[in-house]
Structure 1
Amino acid sequence: MTDKDTTHRRPRPPTGWRRLALRLPLLLYRTGLGPLFGKRLLLLHHTGRVSDLDRMTVLEVVSFDPAKPSWTVAAGFGPRADWYLNLCAQPKTLIRFGNRPHAVTAHFLPPEAGAEIMADHARRHPRTARRLCAFMRLPVDGGEASFREAGRAIPFVRLAAAGGPDRDAPGQS
């Protein structure tokens, strides 16, 4: 298998007890315990593009800018994740960060912005960045260049609060 094959293979969504473990944060948000996650997770409400039903997903926050406010998240299962495709179809939505709801608009970041975001994330949270890359089957050697390359392959989404400016420039996370 070549490096190109490895880069395009995305992880399969978990099943069994792993799926249950990943769904636990959603259950905690539903019971009002979202603030337990601090600034690490948010609850994304999105509308199913086929079913038109309300859906919810808990996502890890890669970066948060309280001045805008905006939240940047990564599509760990790639651009075919249901929440990602649903946001492509309907980018205006709601999130819950802690116990506060926010109306947001999704902005899909270009690969170069993703490279900068991933390099910054790796500097601030090296273990988490390595785990994200390993989960997505993206090779990293721990150097900034390898995290930048991984960031180009990971779809990043900036959720900008309604009425707030969105800046897709690198380094603005």
Structure 2
Amino acid sequence: MDLATRLLHSRWLVRAPIWLFRIGGGVLFGGRLLLLQHRGRTTGARRFAVLEVSGRPDPDRLVVVAGLNARPQWYRNVLVEPRVLVSVGRRRDARALAEPLDPDAAAARLREYADQHPAAWARLEQVVTAWAVPLAAAQGERDWRRVVPVVELRLLDG
């Protein structure tokens, strides 16, 4: 496992930006990262995840990818309760609706991201393919991109 992959699996490092967002420092990340506030599917407790914005098809739509594993907790939670809060750039706690993309749309978004951000994709692809390729093979899926969960967040606040 290379250093970048080990760092991405380090809980304290991955969670550190949450505190920056919560004290209003999300503007430091511009529109590249967002804070997703969601509800735990069994406890109902508030949960937080900092995610990379991998696409912005419209000003009120943000695309995020579950890159570290096939079923991260935030993804499983938004499947149950899609009403979330999003902080990105100067916007704080904007109401949003999380909409999982179908496999074809998800694969298309991943290809767009790879085209638009080749350097970032080179690093992320190693992490994603480590779990997505075996999962796709086990499901009989020829394109591993179709098994990667991708969510579009539709901002509801103007």
| TMscore range, shorter length | 0.7 to 0.9
How many residue pairs match? The answer is: 141
Aligned to 1:167: none
1:75 matched residue in structure 2: 66
Q: 2:153: which partner in 1?
A: 159
Structure 2 gaps, min length 5: 1-5, 134-141
Q: Give distance in 2, aligned partners of 1:48 and 1:70.
A: 23
Is the CA contact (8 Å cut-off) linking 2:94 and 2:157 kept in structure 1? no
Determine which structure has the larger helix proportion and give its number.
2
Runs of 4+, deviation exceeding 3 Å: none
Written as runs of structure 1 = structure 2, the 5 A alignment for 1:24-39 is 24-39=16-31
Aligned match of 2:99 = 107
Is contact 1:60-1:74 (8 Å) kept? yes
Normalized against structure 2, the TM-score is what?
0.80
Structure 1 counterpart of 2:108: 116
CA distance in 2, matches of 1:125, 1:41: 14
The alignment's TM-score, normalised by the length of structure 1, stands at 0.73
Match of 2:80 among 69, 89, 92: 89
* Cα offsets for 1:96-125 (capped at 9, x unmatched): 112313211111101111121111111111
Residue 5 of structure 1 is matched in structure 2 by none
Deviation at 1:61, TM superposition (A): 0.5
1:98 correspondence with 2:84: no
2:143 alignment partner, SS class: helix
Q: Determine what percentage of the aligned residue pairs are the same residue.
A: 35
Aligned mate of 2:57, from 59, 65, 76: 65
